[in-house]
């Protein structure tokens, strides 16, 4: 998962990055709100951690901006030194999904992040997941279409396909896809990603007649669209 943390305290950012990394996710750090606002129109994240006392824009205003600018609804944790009830109410009313007073309780932060990711639909997949005509076997990394195994997918193509199905209908930025499949420091160009996605589209036949269509959104990334011709995903 791709998590954004906004705080003007470097020590606090280091703590959040360590917790997120220990959970197996990537953490992107921002020292002020404007730094985040500059990337938000073209990037996607799975969760935001927002401080209240920022040098440029107050945390509640940042949360409202995220809700307006984010390409899809995502969980937001407000993490601040403010503990007054009125502040908690304002933070939650501004659009935060959870509110945590800063402390050294790393276990609590981890638990709150895990709960928010579950609410956002980012739960570990079942061993088999079915989307309409497609069945993914997660443990053995197999894919079937209409009961016929698709044996030509490479490892990275499989990872990209599963990522798109698990984020059905959501626009994912190129950086989001590259980090999720190759890792945060991977040296993969946008052009290379486009080639991989072209192979995924072709091998899985993700076009209108399949019930799912993989589309490229200029200057953003990719979205897998459910055309309403197939049932919702189910775990077996």
Provide the percentage of residues in the chain whose pLDDT is more than 90.
57
CATH of the domain at 164: 1.10.10.10
148 with 227, same domain: the answer is: yes
pLDDT in tens, 64-108: 999 888 766 789 999 999 999 999 999 999 999 999 998 868 889
Domain coverage including residue 104: 2-119
Give ∠ CA 53-57-58 in degrees, rounded to 5.
Answer: 45
Q: Which of 102, 119, 136 is the last residue of a domain?
A: 119
114 with 12, same domain: the answer is: yes
pLDDT in tens, 181-226: 888 777 888 899 999 999 999 999 999 888 899 999 988 899 999 9
Q: What is the number of structural domains in the chain? A: 2
The pLDDT of residue 77? 96
CA distance 199 to 193: 10
159 with 109, same domain: the answer is: no
Q: Is the pLDDT of residue 233 over 50?
A: no
The pLDDT of residue 41? 84
pLDDT in tens, 130-175: 888 899 987 778 899 998 999 899 989 999 999 999 888 989 999 9
Q: Find all residues with CB under 8 Å of 39, minimum gap 6, and list them.
A: none
14 with 107, same domain: the answer is: yes
108 with 157, same domain: the answer is: no
Q: Which of 62, 84, 119 is the last residue of a domain?
A: 119
181 with 212, same domain: the answer is: yes
The single residue listed with the structure tokens 């079942």 is 126
- Give the Cβ contact number of residue 113 at 10 Å: 24
36 with 92, same domain: the answer is: yes
CA distance 130 to 7: 40
45 with 101, same domain: the answer is: yes
79 with 30, same domain: the answer is: yes
163 with 141, same domain: the answer is: yes
114 with 145, same domain: the answer is: no
pTM over 0.75: no
- 69 φ, ψ to 5°? -100, -25
Q: Is the pLDDT of residue 232 over 50?
A: no
Per residue in 189-209, is it b (16+ CB within 10 Å) or e — as a string? Answer: eeeebeebbebbbebbebeee
Q: Which of 90, 119, 148 is the last residue of a domain?
A: 119
The pLDDT of residue 236? 41
CATH of the domain at 21: 3.40.50.2300
210 with 175, same domain: the answer is: yes
The pLDDT of residue 120? 63
- 87 φ, ψ to 5°? -70, -40
């Amino acid at each position: 998962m791709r998590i954004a943390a906004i705080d003007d305290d470097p020590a606090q950012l280091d703590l959040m990055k360590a917790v997120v990394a220990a959970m197996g996710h990537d953490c992107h750090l921002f020292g002020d709100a404007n730094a985040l606002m500059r990337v938000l129109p073209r990037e996607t994240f799975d969760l935001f951690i927002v401080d209240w006392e920022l040098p440029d824009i107050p945390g509640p205003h940042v949360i409202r901006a995220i809700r307006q600018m984010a390409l899809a609804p995502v969980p937001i944790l407000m993490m601040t030194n403010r503990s007054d009830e009125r502040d908690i109410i304002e933070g939650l009313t501004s659009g935060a999904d959870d509110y945590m007073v800063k402390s050294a309780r790393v276990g609590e932060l981890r638990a709150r992040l895990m709960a928010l990711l579950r609410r956002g639909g980012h739960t570990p997949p079942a061993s088999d997941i079915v989307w309409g005509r497609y069945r993914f076997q997660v443990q053995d990394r197999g894919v079937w279409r209409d009961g016929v195994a698709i044996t030509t997918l490479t490892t990275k193509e499989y990872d990209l396909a599963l990522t798109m199905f698990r984020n059905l209908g959501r626009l994912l930025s190129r950086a989001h896809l590259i980090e999720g499949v190759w890792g945060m420091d991977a040296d993969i160009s946008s052009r290379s990603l486009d080639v991989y996605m072209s192979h995924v589209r072709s091998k899985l036949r993700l076009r209108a007649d399949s019930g799912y269509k993989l589309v490229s959104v200029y200057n953003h990334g990719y979205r897998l669209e459910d055309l309403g011709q197939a049932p919702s995903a189910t775990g077996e």
